[in-house]
Amino acid sequence: MFLTRLLRDQRGVSAVEFAMIAPIMVLLYLGLAALTLVMMAERRAGHAASIVGDLVAQSTSVNAATLTDIIQIGTAIVDPGAPSDLSIRITNVQADAGGVARVVWSVSVGTALPKLAPKNSVVAGFPVGLIAANESIVKTDLRFDYDSFISQILPNVVRFNETYYHRPRRTEVIACADCT
């Protein structure tokens, strides 16, 4: 009799179902929140690289201090806390008479990107046909490592690499006297 009543009793079924489903729902919620934050970080990285290159492309001439300030703007866009793993490199590239892309000057902040190419060196991996002979372009590279707030569940760091190209607007080649 007691066993029959126990099998028919439906009280507490909802609590058991909730206890079984709740951990899955919490993990799903945290996963979607982490995915949203990763997508926002990727958008901020792309936006920062684009703005940094665009600000330089609007200038007729720059100096190393101005470029450092512009890079700090990009850093603030990516993360107002200024992450230590953010690297931004601005390179002014000009095609010679033969159409070969060469470095005019380059400035970099951070250590995640490869070292700067020296002046007049050929730019490796430059898109063919992007600039014609004697034209120049501002190339902005950004690298940012994003670590999720749920790093115990998603232990891998997400690396964002952004590259933007901007044509100078007011001059053929943007001058920088104290840049390397």
The per-residue pLDDT for range 64-89, each reduced to its tens digit, is 889 989 988 888 888 765 455 788 99
Cβ atoms 69, 51 nearer than 8 A: no
pLDDT at 80: 61
pLDDT at 154: 62
Q: Which of 51, 84, 83 is nearest to 69 (CA)?
A: 51
pLDDT at 81: 52
Q: Which of 116, 134, 125 is nearest to 67 (CA)?
A: 116
pLDDT at 153: 62
Beta strands in 30-119 (DSSP E): 61-62, 86-95, 101-109
The whole-number mean pLDDT for each consecutive block of 10 residues of the chain, a chain of 180 residues, reads 76 86 91 85 91 94 91 84 73 90 88 73 84 92 81 72 93 87
Domain that holds residue 76: 2-176
pLDDT at 60: 92
Beta-strand pair 86-95/61-62: unpaired
Q: Structurally, how many domains does the chain consist of?
A: 1
Q: Which of 29, 88, 97 is nearest to 56 (CA)?
A: 88
Percent of the chain with pLDDT over 90: 34
Task: Give the pair of three-digit tokens for residue 42.
Answer: 């990727």
